[in-house]
Amino acid sequence: MLSLRTISRSIPRTFSRSIASSALRPSTLVKPALRQPLKQAVKPAYAAFSTSSVFKAPASEGDIDLLAKLEDELKHEKSSDIPEFEEQQENIDAIVKNGEWTVKDVEGEQEVILSKKFGNETIRVSFTVADIQNISEQDEFDDAALSDELDFQNQNQGAEELEQPEPSFPARVNVTIEKASNGALLIQTVVQDGVFQIEEVSHFAKAELAQAQTAEKDWARQSLYAGPPFENLDEDLQGLWERYLEERGLNAEFANMIPDYISVKEQKEYLRWLDAVKNFIGA
């Protein structure tokens, strides 16, 4: 799991600007006695457009230090964890290809959308890199405490015991399943350690409400009955819903892929952000 990064966004910018001047020519019809006052009136207005030394001021020492630090951070990030990310990317590509998923992953945007057809259904899976950025310090402390506890248990159980894998971070994943003229299901889940933990299953007569891409639609959706908490359902019914997702390719392999996808995309976006900010400061 990637460590959280915090870089202050104090980004002053200096620039230079010069404005070309044009000669002001008084009309030949103006009497000589009136020409001198005219020149005196024009001169202050003309001087106001001259290049000021403020615009030619060099970058501050803070700008120079910030630019150097951004360049160092960019070089460090480009050289670190390359084999790990390449392996994760290969695994992601294989799962996406085998599952016949279409990916919408726009540079600079946080949300990722995977979609495909399944019989008469259109399945849409969405998640965001914000989940890895919003992990609190308390979560990191809890993970560290859990890791220490597992290490202690492993030592007591003997060398023959396998080391427990590091738990993955929770990622919120929304699944919409749409049927033409029959509305759509919205299945809200949290993915962690290869498991889709279903929190709520809702049905909407209008499929557009399941996605709710505008504030108006989101407000309209919130006014409707969303169904009971998933944990309140009969255990057999809960199991059948989990099977329902698995038959559509939302299985353990797919669930394990999502945190990897978030990690890889977050790294790409971070590098893109570093490069953009560095270019801005150095302009």
- What is residue 32's predicted lDDT score, i.e. its pLDDT? 42
- Residues 69-88 pLDDT 10s: 999 999 998 887 677 888 99
**Helix H or strand E segment including 185:** strand 184-192
* pLDDT band (50, 70, 90) for residue 207: confident
**Helix H or strand E segment including 121:** strand 121-128
**CATH top class, domain 72-143+167-282:** alpha beta
Closest to 245 in 3D by CA, of 50, 99, 44:
99
Strand order in the sheet with 195-204: 102-105, 111-118, 121-128, 171-179, 184-192, 195-204
Q: What is the pLDDT of the chain when averaged over all its residues?
A: 76
Please name every residue paired with 102 in a beta bridge, in sequence order, or none if there are none.
115
Average pLDDT of 188-216? 87
The tokens for 182 are 């029959």
- Enumerate the domain spans of the chain: 72-143+167-282
* pLDDT band (50, 70, 90) for residue 152: low
Percent of the chain with pLDDT over 70: 64
Q: Among the ranges 14-18, 60-64, 181-185, 220-224, which has the highest mean pLDDT value? A: 181-185
The amino acid occupying position 74 is L
